[in-house]
């Protein structure tokens, strides 16, 4: 199928061609026709599937068709709500590129940065607004944003939005928009709470599911290192010195963990950038830009800060901490192996994280290869890991009792 088959008009086709898109991705094939039919949608698709263009291209087309409608100045016709600042900026960059050959104007607003320049742009009028929830409500309160003319509302990364505690803000924003509108909800997964939100705000929605999990994980060479918690830092340094080269993201579960690893890597002469929720927006954007330009080759990030950010050409992902939510593992490793390249994912697993490996393996339907030939094995006396069965996952000789089952882990971004 080509973009032409999707009934997109010329300015949009031209922009898609210039972005280097030959054919629509699966989520685009399924989503674009329904958006053009003005349907409400629940789309289950992860970042990396081309989901941004799946809503951005048809939204632009609908707004172009509407351009000649009589009106006074520019009104916000499409509102895209995104949980994180980086994601919002990325969506904005996409809209800007795709609208090159239209007269449509878009802008992005997010917290953690001065509000005045954002107000100035909004006062001039835009057709499309991309926003994080808190800043959007602030601007609305200050009467700079008028949502009375919104025709299309997009809730992107809805599961993350709810995980981050934005549910009340999202509901408020939805109520500030007109009742008669088209609503598109995108979410990597559709847990119960997302389903509930969708049921209460969408009208007779169509469902689209694009599961990319299995194929993504199969394109990645995945390796697992069992290591005592206290030796993770040394093992990470050992791998960076001897094994892992190129453009790398290292994931840690907490901000504190990110800072600690940054400190150690800097001390060891590595050039690194970090992103986590406590950094100012400017610092996060700067870190991301430097990494994307190749000025640094290691980015250390928490999941929430990194989620949805489009970083291409990664050579490897290191899971310094294993995620306790298995889908997060899939998101992380999906960043490598993009565009058909074979990526590498290295996971460092301490005793208390062993149970996470099992749930991850169940999800990806794959046994992760264990590397036990390294200087910091979990149990130096015994051969640490014995692979037995494809079905049941790895069997551990004299495995210490998993602490994860005793301790309930808190999510902490």
Name the residues that contact ligand AMP, by CB under 6 A.
19, 21, 24-25, 28, 47-53, 310
- List, in order, residues 6 or more apart from 98 with CB less than 8 Å away: 12, 15, 16, 19, 53, 56, 57, 60
Contact indicator for 317, 223 with CB cutoff of 8 Å = no
d(C-alpha 392, C-alpha 47), whole Å = 30
Question: Where does 19-115 have alpha helices with state H?
Answer: 26-36, 51-65, 85-98
Q: Of the two residues 308 and 377, which places its CB atom closer to ligand AMP in the complex? A: 308
CB of 216 to ligand AMP, least distance (A): 12
What 3-state class would DSSP assign to 272?
strand
The span from the CA of 333 to the CA of 219, in Å, is 10
CB of 159 to ligand AMP, least distance (A): 15
Nearest-approach distance from CB 213 to ligand AMP, in angstroms: 14
Q: How far apart are CA 394 and CA 397, in angstroms?
A: 10
Look up residue 306 and give its two tokens.
């990194």
Instruction: Report the chain's C-alpha Rg in angstroms.
Output: 22
Nearer to ligand AMP, 22 or 68 (CB): 22
Q: What is the rounded CA–CA span in Å between residue 268 and residue 39?
A: 54
> Shortest gap between Cβ of 54 and ligand AMP (angstroms)?
7
Q: By C-beta, is 20 or 70 nearer to ligand AMP? A: 20
Q: How far out from the chain centre does Cα 98 lie? A: 20
CA proximity to 81, closest of 9, 130, 34? 130
Nearer of residues 27 and 126 to ligand AMP, judged by Cβ:
27
Q: Which is nearer to ligand AMP, 98 or 320 (CB)?
A: 98
Q: Is 172 helix (H, G, I), strand (E, B) or coil?
A: helix
Instruction: Mark out the alpha helices in 294-334 (DSSP H runs).
Output: 303-306, 326-333
Q: Least CB distance from residue 307 to ligand AMP, whole Å?
A: 11
- Which residue lies nearer to ligand AMP by CB, 25 or 44? 25
Q: Which is nearer to ligand AMP, 44 or 49 (CB)?
A: 49
| Closest listed residue to residue 237, CA positions, set 278, 276, 211, 267 | 267
């Amino acid at each position: 199928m080509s973009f032409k088959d999707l009934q997109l008009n010329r300015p949009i086709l031209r922009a898609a061609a210039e972005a280097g898109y030959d054919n629509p991705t699966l989520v685009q094939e399924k989503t674009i026709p329904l958006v053009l039919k003005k349907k409400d949608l629940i789309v289950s698709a992860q970042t990396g599937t081309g989901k941004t263009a799946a809503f951005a291209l048809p939204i632009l087309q609908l707004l172009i068709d509407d351009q000649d409608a009589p009106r006074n100045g520019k009104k916000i016709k499409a509102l895209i709500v995104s949980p994180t600042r980086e994601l919002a900026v990325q969506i904005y960059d996409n809209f800007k590129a795709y609208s090159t050959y239209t007269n449509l104007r878009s802008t992005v607003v997010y917290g953690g940065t001065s509000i005045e320049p954002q107000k100035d742009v909004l006062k001039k009028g835009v057709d499309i607004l991309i926003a994080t929830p808190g800043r959007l409500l602030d601007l609305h309160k200050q009467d700079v944003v008028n949502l009375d003319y919104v025709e299309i509302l997009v809730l992107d990364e809805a599961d993350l939005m709810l995980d981050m505690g934005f549910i009340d803000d999202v509901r408020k924003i939805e109520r500030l928009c007109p009742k008669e509108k088209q609503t598109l909800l995108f979410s990597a997964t559709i847990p119960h709470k997302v389903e509930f939100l969708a049921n209460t705000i969408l009208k007779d929605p169509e469902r689209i599911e694009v599961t990319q999990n299995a194929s993504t994980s199969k394109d990645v060479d995945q390796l697992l290192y069992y290591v005592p918690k206290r030796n993770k830092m040394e093992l990470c340094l050992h791998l960076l010195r001897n094994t892992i080269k190129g453009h790398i993201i290292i994931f840690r579960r907490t901000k504190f963990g990110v800072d600690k690893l940054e400190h150690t890597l800097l001390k060891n002469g590595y050039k690194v950038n970090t992103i986590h929720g406590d950094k100012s927006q400017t610092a996060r954007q700067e870190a991301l830009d430097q990494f994307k330009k190749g000025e640094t080759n290691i980015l250390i990030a928490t999941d929430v800060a990194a989620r949805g950010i489009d970083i291409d050409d990664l050579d490897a992902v290191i899971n310094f901490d294993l995620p306790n939510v298995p889908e997060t593992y899939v998101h992380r490793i999906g960043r490598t192996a993009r565009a058909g390249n074979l990526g590498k994912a290295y996971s460092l697993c301490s005793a208390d994280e062993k149970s996470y490996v099992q749930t991850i393996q169940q999800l990806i339907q794959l046994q992760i290869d264990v590397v036990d030939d390294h200087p910091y094995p979990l149990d130096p006396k015994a051969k640490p890991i014995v692979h037995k069965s494809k079905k049941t996952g790895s069997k551990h000789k004299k495995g210490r009792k998993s602490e994860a089952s005793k301790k309930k882990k808190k999510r902490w971004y």
